[in-house]
Amino acid sequence: MALHSFCRADVTKLPADDQKVLREVSRFHAIHGATNLPPGVLALCADSRGRLAEPGQKWQVTDSITDGKLPTKRLVWAVTDGDYYVVHYERGGRGHSFHVLVTKLNVGKSKSNFVWRGVGGQLKDFRAFLDAVASNKLDDTLDYAH
């Protein structure tokens, strides 16, 4: 069962300066696969065992464990401009949900600086994310399990 949520809540915690940078779409390029995410970014969106399934790969979508070796989160898509990373992933368990993480990784640093996290419906791509931010279709008001 997928929990498709079309939230109508203000994106309250994504700073305006960061939103401005993110809207410069031409700066960003796709990251092809979870294995291509820097460790500091992956750590913020991986499951409790540090795993994030690749798009299209098997993963544990429900809370009924059928294979404990499968990750409980899966990458949908990710983009970067070299500093900012936007990662859209899905989380299984007691309710299938879609999350977006925005983080910044400074050159030469291994730890990522958390910028923002929101939850909502599945987003086709980075432009759909920007549209969802602009139209308040993502919710960042609660501390959702991520």
With a pLDDT cut of 70, the percent of the chain lying above it is 86
pLDDT digits (tens, 9 = 90+) for 70-116: 999 999 999 999 999 999 999 987 888 999 999 999 777 778 999 99
Residue 61 counted as domain residue: yes
Please tell me the distance from the alpha carbon of residue 80 to that of residue 94, in angstroms, as a whole number: 30
Identity of the highest mean pLDDT range in 96-110, 114-128, 132-146: 114-128
Q: Is residue 5 part of a domain?
A: no
- Please indicate, yes or no, if residue 4 is contained in any of the structural domains: no
In a 13 Å sphere around the CA of 21, the CA atoms on its Cβ side amount to 15
pLDDT at position 65, please? 66
Residues 31/80, Cβ–Cβ less than 8 Å:
yes
Residue 60 lies in a domain: yes
Q: How far is CA 107 from CA 17, 45, 66, 114, in A?
A: 19, 20, 40, 15
Domain count, the chain: 1
Q: Please tell me the predicted confidence (pLDDT) of residue 11.
A: 72
Q: Indicate the average pLDDT of the chain.
A: 88
pLDDT above 80: residue 13? yes
- 119 within domain boundaries: yes
Compute the distance between CA of residue 81 and CA of residue 107 in angstroms, rounded to an integer.
12
